[in-house]
Structure formats: C-alpha cells, structure tokens
Structure 1
C-alpha cells in the first residue's frame, strides 16, 4: 500500500528513471498506473524536480490523447505519480508484430499523436522523447501519448544543464545532438521518424552503435519511405521528408502544422493509395528486439498487441482477368504457325462483339455493386453514448445490434467497440454490433463469518475475489479455525480479484503452566493436559536446574496460547563448573576482582581486631572446581 491509498497489484515496466505498477486507488476504487521514481534518484533534487514537473505539465494539458495524471506525492523515500491506466499495447508492440503498416493505419495513428503534441505545443510545452514506445493504443482503439518525463517549457533555457542529451537516439533531431537545444520542432522531427517507421517497418538510420546512428542523423537526410517501399504515394514521401528536414527552419513550426499537412495529404490520397498493402519482406522476425535505445520507462506492456482493423476484403480487390481473343490467321505468304500450336478458327466479329459486351457488363456490374453503396464504411463511434452511436450508425444507413461488457477504461453506457470496427465495410442490409460499457466489473464480498477457513476461502474465490492477509485472534465464542471477521465487510462491492483480509479464531486463550525445573516427562504431561504440543530443543544451557530437567520454556509461564499451539522446552546441562583462582596473599580489592571475573560472588570475613589488607585464606582452595555463580568467602589476616 503506497501512501495509505494505492494498493500495488503488479509491476508493468521498469525504466532507467522509474518503475511503473498497476495499482488500485482504494479511495476512489479505480485502477491506475503508479510511476514510482527509483529510490536512488529520489535523493537527487534535479530528478525530483523533473518528476514533479511532468505531473504539473500533463495535468494542465487535460487532452483526450494524453495519458492523464491524477495525483503526485511522496511516501517515505518513494516519489510517485498516479496516472491513467491504459489497457492495450504500444505502437512498438504493433510494429514488432506486424512490421510496416498500411498508409491508412499509419495516418490513423499519427493524427491523434500530433493532436496530443499540438495541445502541448500550444500550451508552451515540448515532449522531447517521442518514439513508438510512448504511443499507447488502448483495447478500445484510442491512441494516447505517454511519458512526458522529459517535458520542458519552450520559453525556458532549453539546453541541458548537465551537457547530456535526453531522449532516444533513433528519434533525436540533429540540433538536439549537436547543440542540446530542444523546441517544438524536435517533436516534429521525431514524429517524422515514427511515421517513416510505420510506413516501412524499419528505422531510417541504423547502426551497430548509438554513435553511428547519431552521425547519420547529423550528416544524412532521412530518405523518402518510397525508397524502401516502392509504390508509396508521393504525398507520404513529402510528409516524412518535410518533418525530418535536418534544418529545423524547413520543418513545420509545431505539431499543429504537421497535423494540418497530414490531413491535407489524407484528403489527396485515393482509397487504393491509403490501403496499399505493405511488403511482407519488411516484417520483422517474431520476438525481434527493438534495440536498447528504444526502452520505455512508463508504458504498460500487455502480453499481446491488439490488431489494427483488417485490410479490405480480398474479394473486393481481386482483379478480373480477361483472356485475349485468338489472333487472326496469317495473310498469304506469311510464315506458317509454330509446330504444335493447333490452328484456331477465327470467330465471327458479331460473336466477338457479343462476348466483349457480356464481359464488360459483368465487370461493370461488379464495379457498380461494390462502389454504388452496396457496402458502407462503418463510422467511428468509440466512446460515444449509446444514443449518439445509434444515431450516427442509423444516419450512415446501418442497423444496430447492442451488447454489454465490463470495461475499466470506458464510462458506463459508452461504446467500448464495434464489429466491424471503425473503417470496416458492411452491407447496407447488415447490422453493426455495438458493445456498451457496464463500467468496471464488481464482485460482492460474501458473508463467511463463522465458517471454517477452507470453506470461507472457497466461497470468497467463488465470488470472484481472492483471500488476502490472514490474521488470528483469540475468541471464546467462535470455534478455532473459523472466520471472525472480513475486511471489507460482507456486502461491500469490490473489483474482481480484489483481496479480502480474514481474521480467524484461535479459540479460547490458554495460560501456559510453569514447567521449569521439572523433568521432561513431568513437563510434557503438564503441557499436554492443557491441550498443548511439546517440542524439546536440541540446544541445552547451563542453569541452576538439575541436569536433564527443564531450564527454560517458550512461551514463558503465564503467556497466552491457543489449544494445539507448541511450547518449546530447553533442557539444563546443570551448573557450569569453573576453576577457582588462588587469591591468598592478595589485597582485598585484587582478590574480589579476580574472583568476580571468574564468575563467582565474593564475601569478605574480616577479623574483629586489627584486620590487615591481605587475604589469609579462601573457602574454596585455588585450583579447585566450583559452580559458576557460587559464593567464595575470603578471610583477611589480623594482628600487628
């Protein structure tokens, strides 16, 4: 539990600056992501200041395509941000799994990314670390920009004070590398590199070391994507080369300008250009690493990437093949036909005309059927209310079928997904299945008070919850091993798999009898009569108790235990025997010091008349053995 409010459930990702966990806000009962700075960095005021700056910067953006920040705080050595949890995957996951994307899909991702950065730029902020790892694609299809950890105000000194360059090597603008400066145009450059990677499936510059990649960014232009994927539209080349111009003055001033270029390019592209299939040859090997320079520090990484909307039906894109009519016979005097080729009789012109007309009619009918409205593109209705979604779909001429499901991220009554998805095609007579959110799934804590522990555990797990911490408490009313109480209490609703703490009865409290000094048999009998178990320790100790009897017990006599608890007995080795030092002839002080150091107690017998400071005799002779702790009496000399 962090800060008494956030219950940590799982680790999502680890980066160089922080670790991200999935957690539950127990106060508002919602799932969120906790970004916790590494304790070693929390002592660095510069890092802490940057961490807090991220919280303030993102909180003031409040943009639907930016991962929101809910809270920021400190708990002991832990400095943290409480952020929006996005269930889904990163753009890096998609590129690793699918390689190059269709232009339509690439632009569908680029637009919300640029909208988020545009809002940041208008607010006077620059991200400085744009890369596929920082683009989240939710299970509901929404695109969000994450990790504003390197964000900085545009009007502040934009040169790194430490002389280091922050950001990921493959996406750094030349001016970031050369001068350490960063304004809104470095984000534009990074977005151009990301767009190139989406269209081609690879980074524009590659090298075995970061230094090689840095050199290429400084001295080589980013090539047009059509150089790697022939057939891409010139408008896409222009988008990439303009955004990645090495001279920052040649780039759009900010993400808002690049977004306008993207939308203009989309309008100029035909459906065929937008839906051009990327070459399979550029698809990365499964499990291929994205490189150490692309590590992310804040992004949830689910086990599998959610696929983007599928390509259009292959049947609608299949080309009709027309067979060429047979060639007419050669004129007189021409060369004879090749051997082995049968002589075909030339059909009449009327028959040829009829065949061509039929073929043209069939092809024309097919084209008309496809393009004249028999298929309708499904409009995007994600996150709309049910009423607005139905209105939008009906307006497009589509029927609607609704179903419901739980969602941690979509508000109750809003659309989670559609089938077909946005951009998909459906016959006008068909229906679109709309899945509406029922809000986060809830599970009710069952009443298991008085049940045996095993039975209570089965009932709690059957309700969709888990058993959390188990405490024990004495009770004279509830049988031992049965549940005394639950936290939360019965009837309270919690998210599925939330833990329920149990307090289990230890039964009536028993007082441990005193068995020190007894034999093992007598001590065992006395304890077992009380319903306790006995364990004899292998270790033995010196004590005043007779050898072989009980020297110590745990718990001690008078302690409270439950029936069936174990009492451990430690046996005595008897008194420890040590050699008595000879102190005759010594002064009283020296004699006391010697005997006390040997472990004995000392008594002094002084003569009544004229005692002298010299030991005349001792009760146990020097060199003899005596029990450690025994008393040795010394007699002082007397007389003149």
Structure 2
C-alpha cells in the first residue's frame, strides 16, 4: 500500500480550512449583511399620532415616514366628519418601514336608526336604550305626574316622535319625565279677568296644564281677557298637580 505523504495531508487540511472559512464568510454575510439590507432588520419607525387629523393630514404624515395605510369608517356623534377616530398600531409603537397602519375615519353622513319606544320606561333605562342605539339624550324635563321618573313623552326637534320613526344616529332626543307630584292637591287658582298670556303663565306656574281655549264674544271686555275657567275657583274647590284648566277667552284665539 502506498504511503500518504505528510505534505499531501497538510495540503488537504489547508483546502478543507479554506472551504470552511468561505462557508463561514457566506453564512455570516447572509445573516448580518444580506438579511438586514433586504428586510431593514433592526431599523424601526415610531408610529405617529394621527387621530383627530383630517384624511389629507394623516395621509401626508404616514407617507412621509414610509408607512402605508388602510382606511375603514364609522359614525361618531359629535366628531368632525372625515377625521381619524382610531388608529392601529397606536402612536409611539415601533414598526418596520412599509408597515400598514389601520385607521378609522368618521363618516360624513350618519346612518339612520329606528326610534325606540321609551314611553313608560324608567328614565335610566331610557337613557341606556338611547346610548345603545347611538342616540343622545337631550333635555330632560320633569312634569307633574304620579309616575315618578317614568318617561311620559319623547321628542325630537321639539316635536313628539313616534316609535319606529327613522332618525339619524347621534340625534338628540328630549324626554318628558314624571316628577311624582301628581297626587298633590291645592286650591284652584283664579285666572278670570287676566289676559290670556298672564293666565297661561299663572296656570303653568301652579304646575297645571292649559287645556282647551274657547273663543267667546263679550263687547264689554277687552280682547284676550279670560272670562271663565274650568274648574272654577270656588271656595273649597281643589285641583291635582298636573291637571288641566280650560279657559274661555274674549275674541279670536291664535293657535300655539
């Protein structure tokens, strides 16, 4: 058998060493040069705050930082339309260049919702129902009624609104609520001889309601004078808080 010379073994080891060195260089170059260059490894961008900005402002800020975006929309009562309501990732998060930022814009036109029936609900339940539908509780007015804290009427833009009527999301709904004083009794106030506007103010100031107004002729009385009332202000005559008073008035009566 031929003997392998010491020189041949040495050359072989040198060649193996060179190959291993080249492999090591390639390995290190791939992970520490090629990958960082192609994936921006270690390079991050701080996500800017874009909520409450307009669409154009948001677009310019994200594009200036090399970030992409995807837009969704929703309606938010009271928020300026076409402004950013939410963003993800949130501001100050660290992301790679080219990362997509998801933003939610406020819709310009509110969707319509069906007006619920709040009458006879307790005021707290009515408020929760409005909130769940995206409606806003407006002015709450307490009126004399034995049904304490119960909704008596629901109003939109000053007019009573029927259940099922379409209203824009975010609409303000006013409520008339009973104050629980409907059983209180007191003497009937006397408004005969007063002008109609004075009589109506006195009636409402007594926590009563103005009922039917009937026009009569009386040449001896000034137009607009109340000449009769029902119930009458007789001794011992009492009326319940929240009840109505009918009035007879001289001359034509303008509708409310």
TM-score category, normalised to shorter length: 0.3 to 0.5
Q: Please, what TM-score do these two structures have when normalized by structure 1? A: 0.21
Structure with the bigger percentage of helix = 1
User: Which has more radius of gyration?
Assistant: 1
Higher relative contact order (CA 8 A, sep 6+): 2
Structure with the bigger percentage of strand = 2
